[in-house]
Structures are given as C-alpha cells and as structure tokens.
A and B are shown apart, each in its own frame.
Chain A
Amino acid sequence: MNTQQVDFHDTRVLRSSGLSIFIDNGEIEQISNNYTSGTACRALVKGSWGIVSSDNIGDPDSMLFSAAKLSGQAHRISPRQDIELAGAESPLIHDLPVVEKDPDDVSIEEKVELLLDIHKRAKVRDISSSTVMYSESVTEVDYSNSEGVEVSYSLVRTGFAVTAVASLNGVFQMGRESKFNVCGYELFDRYDALELAETAGNTARDLLSASVPKGDRMPVILDQELAGVFIHEAVGHATEADHIAEGNSILAGKIGSQIGSSCISVVDDPSMHGYGYYPVDDEGVESRPATLIEKGVLKSFLHSRETAALFPDTGRPGNARSQGLARPIIRMSNTYIKNGDSSFEEMLSGIKDGIYLIGSRGGQVNPGEGVFQFNAERGFLVENGELTTPVRDVSLSGHTLDILKHVQMAAGDMKMTSGRCGKGGQLAPVCDGSPHILVSEATVGGSG
C-alpha cells in the first residue's frame, strides 16, 4: 500500500528524561534515572486506524508504511464507516509555562536533603512511618501530520507526594498530601512542602481516634478535593465522546438539557497552567477551555478530531492525549466546578443531620450506568449546623445524575488538586477542582 491510499497520517517523536527519588521511613529507598525515546506513526484508511510504535527514533517512512498496512488490513476484515476528521486550525504554541528553576540545576544532594526534611516534618506524634516521593521530568514532543501541521514543544513536570501512617493499638491510618505541576523546582517556592508534610501527619494521627459512621442516605457537604474527584470521575468521564459513541454514557443525547441543578457549571481547560496542561493535544490541536456544563445545562462533550466530526455542534476537538507512544484517546485535562455564591458556613447552618466529607482516596465510575463510588479520606458528622464527630473509612456512592440534581449550593472557594487519571490502560496527568458543594441527599457508605 502506498501513502496515496492513506486518508490521514501523523507522527509523534518523543524524547524524555526523568528522575525520581523515593524516601521511605527517612531512608533513601530508591533514586531512579530514566532516558527514553520513541516514535509512533498513525495512519487512517477509510474507517480504520493503524499505529506502529517503536522505542528509539525509528525510520518514520517505513513505520508509516507499516501503519498504513495495518489500517488497510483492519479495514478489509472489519470495514467501518469512513472517518471524517473535524477541521482544526493550525496550532500556535504560546503561553508555555516558564521554568524558573531548572530541576537539573539543583544537585541531587540538595533534593535529597529537602525530602528528608519533609519526612521529618511528617513524623508528628503517633506516626509510625512515612514515605516521600519526588519526580521531575522533561519531555520533548515533535508532532507532524499529513495536513502540514508541524509543532514541537518541551514540558517540564515536577512534583512530590508525602504519605504518613499513624498506628496505635493495631489501628493504622494514613494521611497524604501532594503537589504536581507543569513547572520546575520553583514548585517548592510556591508551596510550603514542610507544612503540607505536617498536615499529612496530623491527618493520619487524627484519624486514629475518628469513628466509622453508619451507612445511610443523608445531606452531604463535599470539600474541594472530593467534589473535584466527583466532577472528574462521575461527570467528566461521561462527557468523553468515545464513551458517547460506544453508547456507554448517561449523557448521550443530552446536549442542551438540564442535567443538574443551576448551581453547577463545569469547565475543562487544558490551557490552564495546572498538571493537566498541554499546549496542543496529541493530534496537533491547540488547547482551549471547554464549558461542559453551564448552570446545570449540558453544553459540550470532550472530543478527538474523529468524534468532533461524528457529533457535530457538541464541542471542538483538542482532548486527544496519549501516554507515551500509545494511541491518543479522549481525556480530561484541568477540570473544575466553577465558584458559586454560597459559603461553607451557609451550607453547615442548614443541615440538621448530615456529613462533611473531606479529601479523596480515589474512586471509580461506570459511565454507562452512571454509577460511581469513591472514598473520602475523612470527614465530620454534621449535627444541628455544627461539625461534631470526626469520621473515617467513609465512601460516597450513587447515580451521577441523581447527585447533580441534588446539588443545593456551591461556595466561592474553588481549589485544584493534581493527580493522574487512568483510562484504557493509559495514565494522564490531570487536575480537578471545585468549591465546597452541598448535596441535599446522597448514599454514604460506612461499616459502623
């Protein structure tokens, strides 16, 4: 097959190097250096994609030839409706994050010293062990495609996480704090890592004496981090147009309809300088903010060039991302609920018998059924408008649309949290955030 029969092709060349340091109980457990490079060529023949990827900088022409052959074979055996790709204007790389302190200019000894200090600060009373993880990486990306787009950029990512484990009489509890961003070593000027370490330690210690609540339906206040996880897991994934195409999203066909209370507006913004930032996506489309929900009305989906053409007038492409050389798939970036006009105090004062859930230990969602589950790090019972008993091992579950409908208030104190999101076997750096939100009724799980 010659490239004449190929409807579209693109090539990504990646070069990256990284350093990670892992401190365990005050000992350097591991220092790891990685140097990798690779090439991925993608070809489209009618309705089928072919990809060839190889470690090292391969010969793009022969890889492209093989990729075209693969798509041709897939098309012959399982013909699929022709794919049209949504048009995308030529991307401009602008507003790249400026690295103020190149991590390379800081000696490994200095980094280790800081991490050991972080460890020490996490070891408040009753802390039996702590871990500190640091990572830095620089990735250079060259993207080109058959439409003449050629862009190159380089991104530095730096971050750390501290975990403290408290134990007393056979009870173990954990606290964790982390900061990751598209920046250099100035991360440690922006955030007080030592104070965060102490917070992690205090959280773990306080959880030792927290009680485990009874599971029930009740009014719930979600803090910024947990509400961010909710909006990412339960709502964001359901707006990914590949899920829509697969008939695996509760939001299919709902553009323009009121899917939640009018206090909810949601944005996904890859151009924001958070951990989910990218200047162009892995199909060469320039990043722009997308309003997913405005005052409870579903406004757009997240798209690749393929799905943006498949579902016209439901948003623009620009959210195709890949981990390394893998296939680009539709991902979120920096996703958040916009500030509302209520306050945390106002939320509290209206609750007779409810719960305040803080932080997240991750979660999972089935976007097709709209069922989700995630665990809070901790919380407090709310009785007659006041925070009372501290609680732990508590989770929130239910139906996404049910929760969205029952959001009664959003406060004005939005905060973002960085993390990594897994989908289709690929991890992507993301941020999510929210102000405090009040849900009038939700299922809280606990074994008490």
Chain B
Amino acid sequence: MSSDINIIYDMAEMAQKAAKRSGADEVEVFGLMASSVNVDIQLDRIDLARESFSRGIGVKAVVNGAVGFSSTNDPARIVDAAKAATSSASVRNSDPDWTGLPQACDYSVVKGIHDPRIANIDVETCIDLSMKMIDGAVSLDDARPTSGKFTCLESDYVILNSNGVEVREASTRIDGFIECRAGDGNDMSTAYEFDISRNHDIDFFNIGSEAARQALEGVGGVGVDTCKTDVLLKPNAIADILESTFINSLNSENVQKGRSALAGKLGEKIGADSLDIVDDGLLEGGIGSASADDEGTPSRNNHILENGVLGTYLYDKYTAGKDGVESTGNAVRGNYAQSTYIDIRNLEILYPPSDIIVETQKGMLVGSVIGAHTANPISGDFSVEARNSFLIEDGDIGSPIKSMMVTGNAFELLQNICGAGRDIRVLGNIITPTVKVSGLKIVG
C-alpha cells in the first residue's frame, strides 16, 4: 500500500480557494486518502481478496454562521463541490450561535497509530494472516468456521481551514473477524471473535481458536425461567448496550436539543460509586486516537464520569460555543463524504476489578447481545436477545443458555454496576472489562 498525500493536499487547497471565491466567510476542507486490503473467508477457505483505493475531499463552507457541506472524489468536480457548499450555506438562516471554525494551534503527537509494517504489507501476507485465523478456527474438533473477514488499511488525512489550521496525519489499522459454529440441527451454537489494532500485533490464530471455543461451549443449551438476577455483561455485551443509549445521551447536541436523559445532570451522580468513565482522544495506539479531532480541535482526555458523577458532555466546536465551554475534541467523521458529527474517541470504562464470577452465587454471564440498536436511545430502555450466555452457580460457570432476553434501562444499569472483571478488552473505540450488574430482568 502506498499513497501520496500531496495529491490530496492539492485537492484540498483547490477546494478551499474555490469556496472562498464563491463567497464563503470561512472554509474547512477535510481530505482523505486511503488504501486497503480485504480478505473474505467462507467456511475454511479464502474466497476473495480485494484491494481498494479511495481519495476525496469534504468541504464545509460557512456563510453568516450557516454551514453548507459537499464532497467529491472527482478532481474535475472540486470547483462544483466548493460552490455547492457555499450555496447550500446561503440557503440557511444565519446562526447567532456560530462561534467560528477552530483556530490554528499546536497539537500533541499521538504515539502508536501508524505502523509501517501495515503500511507496507503485501497481499500474500494478508492472505497468510487470514489463513492463521482459519487454522485457529479449525484447531478444536467439532467446531468449524462459517465466514470471516480480514482488513488492513492505511490512511492519510489533511484538515485545512481558513483560520490557518493545518493538520496532516497518517494512521494504520488491522482487524480480523471470524464466526464459528458447533453442534447441529436444533442444538447448533455459533460464536464470533474479532480483534482490531493500529499495529501489527494481533494474534490471528487466537481469534480463530477463541471463536471455535466459544461456539463449542454453547452446545447443549438449557432454557431459563423469567426472573431478576445478577447479570455479568461481557465486554461485547456492555459496549453494545451503552453505545445505543448512554453514549447517545452524552452527545451535547442531543442534550441541547432536548433528546438526552442526561440534560441538566452535570455534577449529579448518575453511576455507581466507584465507576469512572473517560474518553481519551490521545490514547496511545487507540483506534479513535489522533492529534486532532476531525475539525482540527486538539484531542484531549475527558473525564466523563468520576465516582459516578457526570463531569462533561461530548462537544464539538459549535455545541461548545453554544454552552460557553471549550470543545472536548469529539468532532469525528466516517469518511470524506460525511460532515463531522459528535461521537466518542476512545471511551474507557473503569471500575475496581475483582473475581466477579467466583463472587457470584447465582446469576447469568452474557457474552454478547443482539438487537442493542433497537433500544430507546433517549429513555435508555432496552430489550435484547442474549447470546453466548451461561448460568453462574456458586461462583462457577454452569450450563450454556439456549435463548433468553435481557431487559432493563441503561441509566439504571450504570447505577447498579457492582463489580468488574480483570478482562479488559479493546473493542474498537470502547475499552471495557466484564461488568456485573445487579437485578436485571431475564425473560426465558
């Protein structure tokens, strides 16, 4: 993989000038260039290898405090795109809350987000790494892979704005995912495992063997009765539940627009006594780490919850201006064709660890959930199907559970956290151990 960031820098400069000429007061251009290799696994074989190259720019033009956005990947349409952004901004009413694009400043260097071994990887190596994942998945008798994916990516981005902000940074990412099944007929069990990193340090064999082990453990599931009990939510499960509820409510835009149950709760205790949550845009090697956020505000480490007390919402430059605070550096975007939106960078859930399984007399261990995105993002009510779940009896993991639903409220859940494991996992931009929650409802 290789790319020449100068091409994208030239495109960005051209767009900036064109937007200025068409009458924009302020202009921001985000340019992205990426190359990636994907490998698809079907059963125990590789069925596809893919290389893709993408580059393009996203233009924000500001007229009287109103923002217009456009994007293109076609060098011949840069001027059209810049003009479209300006004319879109002109359709909007002026916005008295606009406090300008970020100003030029110094940035910290983030370590561990670019690995030349990934940038220079060849397709054969990618295929070999994918094969290791398959080797792991077939290493246990009676479990077999169904499908999987390998991806590695190098991207360079540039942010230019008319206040003199100029950020350029390169990063890499590598990830593997595989799903396995075991058993058959009415007693089939499936499980997936994945790992993601900025660096070439993933144990691909282990991803496969873990998926296989979890699929095997699920065979012979039993039914459960409807009850309230202690539930241990493993990293995948707690991350999924919080993502569609709590994290949505931390977004200052939702708070300002009356769409967050956390509105008016700054300084209030909303979580368990020992619960800390931070969101760190500078975390070494973090999937969400960069020296700046995607509108050029320097990244920083924000204390969201300290001893259960809500410290801050997540802000970009605009919503921060509205609340009279500083941006927390949480403007992000998926790609150049999207404008910025507010989201977490690297959210870490911190709670004093202990041997939570041994400490649980009676409860359930939930590996992952399906349907978390159907939760009510505002009220926090959720009702999800638990997967890869087990009974816990007298401090031991017991029988696998065939099927059950877990229902509750994400905000009550934060208050009812009463333990955490030592098994901290990095799940992309959420970092969490298994979390023990008292009194969740199970529907069998």
Contact surface of A with B, Cβ cutoff 8 Å: 24-25, 27-28, 30-38, 47-56, 66, 70-71, 73-74, 77-80, 108-109, 112, 128-129, 165, 167, 170-174, 212, 215-216, 242, 245-248, 325, 327, 361-366, 368-369, 371-375, 393-395, 397-399, 424-425, 443, 445-447
Contact = CB atoms under 8 A, between A and B. Distances in A.
B185 to A, nearest CB: 9
B387 interface: yes
A248 B146 contact: yes
Nearest to A399: B403
Given A172-B259, A247-B144, A393-B381, A447 B373 contact: no
Given A24-B257, A30-B67, A48 B49 contact: yes
A55 B371 contact: no
A368 B56 contact: no
Given A74-B49, A366-B370, A393-B383, A215 B443 contact: yes
Nearest to B374: A375
Nearest to A37: B74
B48 A49 contact: yes
Given A372-B385, A397-B405, A31 B69 contact: yes
Interface in B62-88: 66-75, 77, 80-81, 84-85, 87-88
Interface in B347-391: 370-371, 373-376, 378-379, 381, 383-385, 387
B258 A165 contact: yes
A70 B70 contact: no
Interface stretch (B121-129, B195-203, B268-276): B121-129
B67 A73 contact: no
> How many B residues touch the partner, as a band?
35 or more
A443 B128 contact: no
B226 to A, nearest CB: 6
A55 B53 contact: yes
B73 A55 contact: yes
Interface in B173-226: 179, 181, 188-190, 226
B405 A443 contact: yes
Contacts of B56: 36, 55
Contacts of B414: none
Contacts of B70: 32-35
B72 A34 contact: yes
A55 B373 CA distance: 31
B257 to A, nearest CB: 5
Among A36, A48, A365, A445, residue most surrounded by chain B Cβ atoms (within 10 Å): A445
Given A54-B54, A242-B147, 14 more contacts: A35-B74, A51-B51, A52-B50, A55-B73, A73-B124, A73-B127, A78-B46, A78-B130, A108-B87, A172-B379, A248-B190, A362-B373, A364-B374, A368-B146
A373 B385 contact: yes
Contacts of B436: none
Contacts of B371: 362-364, 373-375, 395, 397
B261 interface: yes
Given A74-B48, A108-B88, A364-B371, A447 B376 contact: no
Interface of B: 39-40, 42-43, 45-56, 66-75, 77, 80-81, 84-85, 87-89, 91-93, 95, 123-124, 127-128, 130-131, 134, 144, 146-147, 149, 179, 181, 188-190, 226, 257-259, 261, 337, 339, 370-371, 373-376, 378-379, 381, 383-385, 387, 403, 405, 407-409, 441, 443
Contacts, number: 249
A34 B124 CA distance: 35
B56 to A, nearest CB: 6
B74 A373 contact: no
Given A77-B131, A246-B43, A70 B50 contact: yes
Among B85, B261, B374, residue most surrounded by chain A Cβ atoms (within 10 Å): B374
24 contacts: A24-B257, A28-B93, A34-B337, A35-B77, A36-B72, A48-B48, A49-B49, A50-B48, A51-B52, A55-B54, A74-B49, A78-B130, A129-B259, A215-B383, A215-B443, A248-B181, A363-B374, A368-B188, A369-B188, A373-B405, A395-B371, A395-B374, A395-B383, A447-B383
A446 B385 contact: no
B153 to A, nearest CB: 13
Among B43, B73, B131, B134, residue most surrounded by chain A Cβ atoms (within 10 Å): B73
A185 B258 CA distance: 32
Contact of B49 (A28, A50, A109): A50
Given A54-B52, A371-B385, A447-B381, A31 B42 contact: no
Contact of A215 (B75, B131, B226): B226
A365 B374 CA distance: 12
A24 B258 CA distance: 11
B43 A48 contact: no
Contacts of A108: 87-88, 91
Contacts of A425: 149
A369 B189 contact: yes
Of all A-B residue pairs in the complex, the 10 with the closest CB atoms, nearest first, are A31-B88, A172-B378, A373-B385, A375-B374, A215-B443, A373-B371, A55-B73, A78-B46, A33-B84, A49-B48
Nearest to A398: B403
A30 B91 CA distance: 10
Contact of B376 (A27, A31, A172, A373): A172
Among B40, B52, B149, residue most surrounded by chain A Cβ atoms (within 10 Å): B52
Contact of B66 (A28, A56, A371): A28
Contacts of B84: 33
Nearest to B33: A55
Contacts of B91: 28, 31, 108-109, 112
A25 B322 CA distance: 16
B190 A446 contact: no
Given A33-B85, A34-B71, A395-B374, A70 B405 contact: no
B51 A52 contact: yes
Given A165-B378, A325-B52, A366-B387, A32 B88 contact: yes
Contacts of B67: 30
Nearest to A329: B40
Contacts of B379: 171-173, 393
Given A28-B66, A30-B67, A172-B378, A73 B123 contact: yes
Nearest to A69: B123
A53 B409 CA distance: 44
